[in-house]
Amino acid sequence: MSFLKVQGLRRQFGNVAALDGVDLNVTAGSRTAIVGPSGCGKTTLLRMIAGFDVPDAGSITVEGVRLADTNAQVPAHKRGIGLVAQDGSLFPHLTVSDNIGFGLDKSFVGRAKLIAELIDMVGLEQSMLSRKPEQLSGGQQQRVALARALARKPRLMLLDEPFSALDTGLRAQTRRAVTDVLVGAGITTILVTHDQAEALAFADQVAVMRGGKFAQVGSPREIYARPVDAATARFLGEAIVLQAQITGGFADCALGRVAVDGRMPSGGAQIMVRPEQIEVLPYREGGDGVAGIASGIDFCGPSYDVTITTEGPQAFAMRLSLPSRNILGDGERVTLRLADTAHVLGG
């Protein structure tokens, strides 16, 4: 049974359909990432779930209880939902302790003990309780914001691009710490982000949004390896999309004759290959794979980027990132071989 069920949700702003019939099921204790470009409707959906906006059509149900539809809406403060915003939204004039305990009754006997437990839970030192937000780093502020949201013991946590303002290293570190806290507490979580890698690393379920609709919903591995179309494939990472002729479970394309996933009827189709599926081998006449020529080499330390153009009537150029232990020379011939099956788009 779904913990959170969104059915046919629609929201119109003038002539723009921010949400155009969105359906989503989230199981209890899971982590769902909603990913998509700016303006696709993901933050509007989060606001609907939180109770900050009213749908024009559709419904939102949590644990079998209807929270919102076109007829009625449970107020945001009565939904039992926590929210961590992009900038943390801490009160600058309050201490860390007061920020964490903001939603708690000051007459609550165990208030100080709970605040101390919460700051431990998010991996911060007790000495920080007396500090003001301006005395914290960006990552520390986000952890305090999480502790404040956890103080009310929410049944559902919403994260609205909470790591986007952090530097790359701190971003990954903070994301892992937040994930550990939420998993440890068993809280169902929805993350909204435009960062594809972040969504894939964080979630059990990823929903790719485009134009107010979900283009695809599934596990991170499923949507990365088997996207529904070329736009989804490219949004989720580097993708090599090729025209091909399918015959008997194989595709003839710029990479030669390669196996494809699933059972596809014969005929023309688009196939997708991720760059990491391609093996770059020393050139060998008559071997498996196709010949290619290296050019445009950029050294990046542990790896290097290189353009390799296949030879033959279906010549195709692709940009690959390879380990720098054996750097190719400009103009060097290589053999390209697919180490896995190609995915047939739309199949």
- In the chain, domain spans: 4-231, 238-344
Q: What are phi and psi of 343, to 5 degrees?
A: -100, 130
pLDDT at 1 over 70: no
Q: What is the mean pLDDT of the chain?
A: 90
pLDDT at 319 over 80: yes
pLDDT at 117 over 90: no
* Mean pLDDT for the stretch of residues 32-45: 92
Q: Are 84 and 142 in contact (CB under 8 A)?
A: yes
CATH dotted code for 238-344: 2.40.50.140
Highest mean pLDDT: which range of 83-97, 103-117, 285-299: 285-299
Same fold, 4-231 and 238-344: no
Rounded-to-integer distance, Cα 100 and Cα 90, Å = 9
% of the chain with per-residue pLDDT over 70: 99
Query: Taken in order 114, 117, 122, 124, is the CA torsion positive or negative?
Result: positive
pLDDT in tens, 295-315: 999 999 999 999 999 987 788
Please give the pLDDT value at position 147.
Answer: 85
pLDDT in tens, 186-207: 999 999 998 898 899 999 999 9
pLDDT confidence band for 68 (50 / 70 / 90): very high
Query: Taken in order 200, 201, 205, 211, is the CA torsion positive or negative?
Result: negative
User: Does domain 4-231 fall into CATH 3.40.50.2300?
Assistant: no
Structure tokens at 222: 């499923």
Please give the pLDDT value at position 243.
Answer: 93
